[in-house]
Structure 1
Amino acid sequence: MKKGILLVNLGSPDSPTPKDVKKYLGEFLMDERVIDIPLVARTALVKGIILKTRPKQSAAAYQKIWWPEGSPLIVISERLQNKIQKQVEVPVALAMRYGSMTIKKGLQELVDKGVEEVLLFPLYPQFAMATTETILVLTEELRKAHFPQLKIESVRAFYNKPDYIEVLSDSIKRHLEGKKYEHLLFSYHGVPERHIRKSDVTKSHCKMDGSCCVTPSKAHEFCYRHQCLEVTRLVAERLQLEEGTYSTSFQSRLGFDPWLLPYTDRTIERLGKQGVKNMAIVTPAFVSDCLETLEEIAMEGQEIFHEVGGKEYTTVPCLNDDKAFVDLLSKWINEWATTDIEVG
C-alpha cells in the first residue's frame, strides 16, 4: 500500500479582517470539543454573544502579528511541510482543523497521489480534547463519508519522547544563551478543568488536587495537564534548572468556568511584583508560533511584566521549522514508512 503523511495544525483566518476572523472563530468555537456545552447553549453563546464583539478585537490582534506572506501559523507550517518532504520518500500533505485548508482537502491531495495508507500527524505534543481529539474525530468522519478505502492511523502524543525532549530543550538553551533571566516560565494553552475529567479513561483518577498528575495511571495517556507538567519536568531535568527558577502556567482562558491553574497573565504579574526583573517564557503546547504566542505571550505578556516593574522579558520561539525539529519528524516518518514503527 502506498503511504502518505497528513500534518494537521490548528488553522487561521484567511486574512486579518473582521469578516474572515468571524468566519474562522465561528467554525472554531462551534466545535463541541472546544466549547463542550449543549448545542443550543453553545449557539447562543457563540453566535449570540461572542461573534458580535470578538471578531473585531481578534482581527486587531491578528493585524499586529500578520506577516507579508500571510498568517504566521500557516507560513511556518508550510515551511515545515516543505522541509520534511525533502527528507522523506512518501508524500506529505498539510491541513488545518479550522479554516480553508481543510482536512478533507489534505486527504484528497494524498488520494490523488495514489496514497492508500495515511499517517495522521496532529502537530500537538500533548493530547487534548480541543486539539488532538477533534482532529481524530473529524478525520474518521471524513474517511467514512468520502474515503472509505483509506487506511488511517494517527500519531500519539509525543510529549515525553526522549528525542523530542532533547530537541525542545536544546532549542530553549540555544535561544536563551547569553540572555539574562531569573525565572523561566513554561506557559501552555489552557483548557477547562472539565476537559481533563472528561478525558479520564479510568473515570476516577483525575481529582485536580495536585497529586493525581504525579501518581501513575492509565489516565495520563489522555491527560493534558499531566502531559504539560511532564514536559516541564523533563526539560527542567535535562537543562538542570534549579528548583524555584522555573514554573508552569496556562494561558488563554474563555468564559467563567474553572480553567487550569495557575493563569499565565497572573503568574507574570506575580513574578514581577515579587521582584523578578528578568524572565523568560516558552510555550511548549505549540510547535508553530501563532496568535497566542506572538501576540498574547510576546506582546501582552511583556506589557504586563513591564507594568509591574519587570525589565527583561525574553520569549523563546516555538520549534517552528527548526532544523533539529524537521530532522526529528522526518526520522519518525521514515521509520513508520519503511518499518511500520509506531510514532508516538
Structure 2
Amino acid sequence: MSDSLKTGVLLVNLGTPDEPTAKGVKRFLEQFLHDHRVVDMSRWLWCPILHGIILPVRAPKVAKLYQSVWMEEGSPLMVYSRRQADKLARLTQKPVALGMTYGTPSLYDGLSSLLEQGVEKVVVLPLYPQYSGTTTAAAFDGLAKAGKSFSTLPNFSFVRDYHDHPLYIKALAAQVRTHWQKNGQADYLLCSYHGIPKRYADNGDIYPQHCEATTRLLGQELGLDDSKIGMSYQSIFGREEWLKPYTDKTLEQMPGKGISSIDIMTPAFSVDCLETLEEIAVEAKQTFLEAGGESFRYIECLNDVDDHIQMMADLIANA
C-alpha cells in the first residue's frame, strides 16, 4: 500500500446520550441494548423485556445519574473525546474524526467527514485498550454497516487492541504516580474493568486475559506485588454470572482484610464517563467507606493527557 495515500483517523468510542433526560437516555440505550454483540438473547424474548420493562424503568433513573456528572460542554465522554481528537489532529497533522458505535456522531458521520476531506486511507482506532466482542467487534460491525452507504471505500487499517502497548502502560503508570505525588499512596491499587457475562468469555472472548495482562504489566511498571495491586469487574447487569471478582464485593471485603485506604482506577475506559465518575467515584466510594474503609481515592482516566495522545499517535504511525 502506498505511503503517499492521504491518511485520516477515525477515533471510535461507545457513545453517550445527547442530553441528560429520560428521552435522551432511552434513545441511546435502545440502540445500545439492541446490539446482538451486547445482548445475545433471542429478540423474541429480549425485545419485550427491553421495551416493556428495562427502558421505561431505567431511563429516568440513568438520566438523573447523567445529570450529576454532566459538564458545561456536554457529556463527559463526548467532551473528553473531542479534546482527544483535537489534540491528536494537532500532533499528527492528520484529519481526525469521532465516530460512536451508538448515538452521535455516528460511525457513518465520522467516516463521511474523513472522505469529504479527501482521505484515502482510514486508521480506525477503537479506544478500548482490551479487546472484547461487546465493544471492539461491535465497532467493527458498525463500521462495516456504515460502509454500505459509500460507493467507494478508503483503505482501512483497524487497531484491534493495545492492552499491553508499552506507551499505554507507561501512561497509566504516570497517571498513578501523579496521583500519588498529590495525595500519597494508599494501601492498595484496585483496577476496575467493565464486566461482561462470564458466558461470553467461556465462548472465546479474550477480554479477561487482556485485563489480567494490563494489570500485571502496570504492577510491574509501578513495582507493586500482588499484595498491593489487583483487579475486579464493574457495571454488572442482569441476573446471569459475569466475570469475577465484582468490584462492589471486592470493596466490601477489603477493610476486613486490613486494607483501610484504596486508590482505584479504571484502565478499560479511555475517557471518564458515567461508569467512572458516578459508579466508581461516588457509588463505589460509598460502598468501601460503609464497609469500614477510611480513605477512597479515584484516579481519573487518561482522557486527553499528553502521554495518552502520544500513545495514540504511535498506534496510528504503526498502523
What is the TM-score with the length of structure 1 in the denominator?
Answer: 0.88
Q: What corresponds to 2:263 in structure 1? A: 280
Q: What corresponds to 1:59 in structure 2? A: 63
Q: Quick check: 2:167–2:307 contact (8 Å CA) kept in 1?
A: no
Q: Quick check: 1:176–1:316 contact (8 Å CA) kept in 2?
A: no
Q: Quick check: 2:255–2:292 contact (8 Å CA) kept in 1?
A: yes
Deviations 1:267-314 (A, max 9, x none): 111112333211110100011000000000000011111111111101
Q: Quick check: 2:159–2:315 contact (8 Å CA) kept in 1?
A: no
Q: What corresponds to 1:217 in structure 2? A: none
Q: Structure 1 residues 238-247 or 48-57, which shifts more?
A: 238-247
Q: Quick check: 1:192–1:257 contact (8 Å CA) kept in 2?
A: yes
Give 2:246's aligned amino acid.
Y
Note the 1:221-240 alignment, pairs <5 A: 223-240=206-223
Determine the C-alpha separation between the residues in 2 that align with 1:331 and 1:127: 18
Partner SS for 1:156: coil
Q: Quick check: 1:278–1:313 contact (8 Å CA) kept in 2?
A: yes
Instruction: Mark the CA change 1:52 to 1:125 in structure 2 (over 3 Å): closer, same or farther.
Output: same
Partner SS for 2:278: helix
Matched length: 314
Work out which of the residue numbers 151, 157, 161 in structure 2 matches 1:157: 161
Q: What corresponds to 1:189 in structure 2? A: 194
Deviation at 1:195, TM superposition (A): 1.5
Q: Quick check: 1:143–1:150 contact (8 Å CA) kept in 2?
A: no
Q: Quick check: 1:275–1:310 contact (8 Å CA) kept in 2?
A: no
Q: What corresponds to 1:119 in structure 2? A: 123
Partner SS for 1:303: helix
What is the TM-score with the length of structure 2 in the denominator?
Answer: 0.95
Deviations 1:202-228 (A, max 9, x none): xxxxxxxxxxxxxxxxxxxx5000000
Partner SS for 1:141: helix
Q: What corresponds to 1:247 in structure 2? A: 230
Partner SS for 1:146: coil
Gaps of 5+ in 2: none
Deviation at 1:147, TM superposition (A): 4.8
Partner SS for 2:14: strand
Deviations 1:221-277 (A, max 9, x none): x50000000100000011111321221100011111110001001111111233321
Give identity over the alignment, percent. Answer: 39
Determine the C-alpha separation between the residues in 2 that align with 1:153 and 1:38: 33
Note the 1:291-330 alignment, pairs <5 A: 291-330=274-313
Q: Quick check: 2:215–2:231 contact (8 Å CA) kept in 1?
A: yes
1:73 aligns with 2:77: yes
Deviations 1:8-48 (A, max 9, x none): 11111011111101111111111111111111122122112
Give 1:106's aligned amino acid.
G
Q: Structure 1 residues 65-74 or 164-173, which shifts more?
A: 164-173
Determine the C-alpha separation between the residues in 2 that align with 1:35 and 1:332: 30
Instruction: Mark the CA change 1:245 to 1:327 in structure 2 (over 3 Å): closer, same or farther.
Output: same
Determine the C-alpha separation between the residues in 1 that align with 2:149 and 2:197: 31
1:179 aligns with 2:162: no
Give 1:233's aligned amino acid.
R
Partner SS for 2:93: coil
Determine the C-alpha separation between the residues in 2 that align with 1:40 and 1:172: 46
Q: Quick check: 1:180–1:312 contact (8 Å CA) kept in 2?
A: no
Q: Quick check: 2:12–2:101 contact (8 Å CA) kept in 1?
A: yes
Determine the C-alpha separation between the residues in 1 that align with 2:313 and 2:80: 16
